[in-house]
Amino acid sequence: MIMQTPKISVIIPVYNVESYLSKCIDSILCQTYTDFELLLIDDGSSDASGKICDMYKENDNRIRVFHKKNEGVSKARNLALNNALGEFVIFVDSDDWIEPNTFELVLNQLENFDILFFDIIWHYEDNSFRTNSAGNFFVTNRENVEQSIFRLIHNLTDVNLFGFT
């Protein structure tokens, strides 16, 4: 069990992603900033995803695994939020991975801002990729937050991120 309250809680809902899951978890575990907990929510996977989660838990005490019946990603995230111990929460999808210094960069920026938006890079199986940038958002007060969220929703050109829950 975790001995102290972690700075960051990383939440990963998991459902039938055995092909991608290890790469995702490894990208979390190799972070340059290490004061985090990892919550893996197995949402009733019928493949080996749940076993992969348990295997990682056996080797790292920062990992907690929850197994539940399949109810969808939103309920999985809510279960994790109800159990998260960290001061900050980061959501990562189970078929994604992050760069090794992501947490370090995020914490450095949180000293200046309350909300951070990330760019997205899609990597395809044919080794091609596409980048989508949310643009520059500098949020300093409630009005800026509302304006920035409106811009984010309405200015994502060819991608609707809000279809992804």
pLDDT tens, position by position, 86-101: 999 999 999 989 999 9
Dihedral in degrees, nearest 10, Cα atoms 7, 58, 93, 131: 80
Mean pLDDT (the chain) is 84
Percent of all residues in the chain with a pLDDT value above 90, rounded to a whole number: 58
Cross-strand pairs, 90: 10
Instruction: Encode the chain in three state secondary structure.
Output: CCCCCCCEEEEEEECCCCCCHHHHHHHHHCCCCCCEEEEEEEECCCCCHHHHHHHHHHHCCCEEEEEECCCCHHHHHHHHHHHCCCCEEEECCCCCCCCCCHHHHHHHHHCCCCCCCCCEEEECCCCCEEEECCCCCCCCCHHHHHHHHHHHHHHCCCCCHHHCC
pLDDT at 155: 61
pTM of the model: 0.80
Give the tens place of pLDDT for each residue, 45-87: 999 999 999 999 999 999 999 999 999 999 999 999 999 999 9
| pLDDT class of 3 with cuts at 50, 70, 90 | low
- In the block, which residue shows the tokens 């995702």? 24
CA distance 164 to 77: 13
> What's the fold here for domain 1-112?
Spore Coat Polysaccharide Biosynthesis Protein SpsA; Chain A (3.90.550)
Contact 12, 92 (CB under 8 A): yes
Instruction: Return the higher-pLDDT residue of 9 and 143.
Output: 9
pLDDT at 34: 97
pLDDT at residue 8 is higher than 70 = yes
| pLDDT class of 106 with cuts at 50, 70, 90 | confident
| pLDDT class of 35 with cuts at 50, 70, 90 | very high
| pLDDT class of 11 with cuts at 50, 70, 90 | very high
Ranges of CATH 3.90.550.10 domains, the chain: 1-112
